[in-house]
Structure formats: structure tokens, C-alpha cells
A and B are shown apart, each in its own frame.
Chain A
Amino acid sequence: DAGVTQSPTHLIKTRGQQVTLRCSPKSGHDTVSWYQQALGQGPQFIFQYYEEEERQRGNFPDRFSGHQFPNYSSELNVNALLLGDSALYLCASSLGASKGDEQFFGPGTRLTVL
């Protein structure tokens, strides 16, 4: 099991563009959470998907949206990119969307907005 995988590894976009990041959860996991980690900061929760629905959302604008597919993989979409969206985007998977279940993190996608 490769664990949580994310693609692409790195991405460079310009302001105003749109981006899609992808995540495959650890085998057997059905819940995916997305986090944004700015340089020198801890990860910040964006949202969580379970049973193809957004279960919980952090303090992020509507430009950030997501999707979960029947195979539990997930996408994070960001529209109208701003310079401040430059960050490492982490995906984490867990089982059952229950509080306290261990979340397993992927390696992240490094997004640079120019």
C-alpha cells in the first residue's frame, strides 16, 4: 500500500487561473480531508469529504471547492487564484469520518502562484 498519494507534486500557475489537485486515500479509507500549509505555518483545515459529500468546512472562501468520487479519491479545486494561495496542499485520509480517527497524510502538492 503506497499510502495516501497526491498529484501533481509541484504546480506553477498565474493569478486568476484555476487549479485542480488530486488525492487517492490509503487503501480501506473512505474519508478525505484537505489542508493548506503556508510557509512557516501549521496546516489549516479546508474541508472534509465523506460518502461523496462535504462534511465539514474550514474558514476558506467559496473559490475553494472539492469533490469525492465513488472510489473515495478526491479533488481540490481553486478558482481565481491569488498570490496568497501559494502553499503546500496536504490531503489526509481516515476511516469513517469519526472524530479521533487517525489521519494519514500524503506528501502534498506544492502550488506556486505567480
Chain B
Amino acid sequence: GAGVSQSPRYKVAKRGQDVALRCDPISGHVSLFWYQQALGQGPEFLTYFQNEAQLDKSGLPSDRFFAERPEGSVSTLKIQRTQQEDSAVYLCASSLIGRILQETQYFGPGTRLLVL
């Protein structure tokens, strides 16, 4: 596709509900990143995939957060038993290879999650 897309753009969940956020990276991009952006803050790293391999999940805030990219393209970020503190914008970014230092990440529009 022309850019990184994410769905849904907005999600309202009741506390305790499970949610799934989808990211479609730019076609052919090997690397995929998830970030969490709280209100008034900069994005914070959650996890990183190279193809289907999740190479870094050090930023996931708890074991309620789970990400996958089974075929090395589309990725899903799942949050189980959502809590109010999970309310944030979740950004996805992709880059062509990710092993070259000068690579640029291209960001999607984000999914705004509100947990009531």
C-alpha cells in the first residue's frame, strides 16, 4: 500500500474487555514497530518485529499486552483485560529493513483507545 494503515482508528472499550489493534505496514517492509502514545506525551516503544520474529518486546507494559505478526506482514497488538491506564494512541511504524542505522520509520495514523 501507499503507507502504513491501522484499524480501527478509534476504539472504546469497557474496563476488562479484550481489544485487538491491527497494523498493515508498507508492502515489503521487513521491520515493524509498535509504540504507545499517552496524552501529551511522545510515543514510547512497545515491541519490534523483523518479519515474523518478535525480536524485542521489552517495552510491553505488562503480560496483558501481546503482539504477533504470524506471516511477517500484518501485525496485531492485543490487550487483554483492558485497564483505564491503557487509554492511549497506539502507533505502528514500519521500515524497509531495520538493520541499517539510517533507515527511516514510517508511521501509521494510530489507533486511539479509550478504556472506560
A and B are interacting partners: no
Residue positions of A touching B, CB distance < 8 A: none
Residue positions of B touching A, CB distance < 8 A: none
